Amino acid sequence: MAVLLLVAAGCQQAADGIQVSDLHDLSPVASELSARFDQIFVAQPLQNKGKYTFTEDAETHQSFVEGEGTDQDGNAVIFRAECKVSEGQGGGKALKLVNMGESCSGNNCSLCAFATGGGCTCRKAASPSGENAYCNHTVTK
């Protein structure tokens, strides 16, 4: 019986979104965001998730929650999911992440970033020559 109550409470939280008091400080809800990204990236498990930020793409007018982590091989990965922002409890905001995420992982690149308008870009090559440095862009549904 207790398990059923926990599941129902989890569904209620998902429907309301993740409550935040400040869009520019997501650290208080990092564990909730990590759990939500685990659901989004089931086929591509991410580890060491953190450094969550709220961003807006000026070109597409979309809002995102972005984070950093590592893949199963220990390579650096950035990831994000589009989010919808609504009025939350107590004057805060509610973030509801959509069920689609995207990630960037480097190939001879030590610093990937999301490109304006979509996709990925390499901001720092892993080798001094910078040859063949790029980031793989993956969309997860």
β-pairing verdict for 18-20 and 109-114: unpaired
78 is a domain residue: yes
pLDDT in tens, the chain (141 residues): 332 222 222 323 345 789 999 999 999 999 999 999 999 988 888 999 999 999 998 888 899 999 999 888 888 899 999 999 999 888 899 999 988 899 999 888 889 999 988 899 999 888 887 788 899 999 987
Q: What is the pTM assigned to this prediction? A: 0.81
Residue 8 in any domain: the answer is no
Tell me which residue range forms the domain holding 28: 17-140
**101 in a structural domain:** yes
SS3 83: strand
Any domain includes 7: no
Residue 15: predicted pLDDT: 53
Torsions phi, psi for 108 (to 5 deg) = 60, 30
- Sorted by sequence, the CB contacts under 8 Å of residue 37 that are 6+ apart come out as 46, 49, 67, 79, 81, 97, 101
The answer to whether residue 54 sits within a structural domain is yes
What is the pLDDT at residue 9?
Answer: 29
Q: What is the number of domains present in the chain?
A: 1
Distance CA 21, CA 24 (A): 9
CA atoms within 13 A on the CB side of 5: 2
> In what helix (H) or strand (E) does residue 4 lie, and over which residues does it extend?
helix 2-16
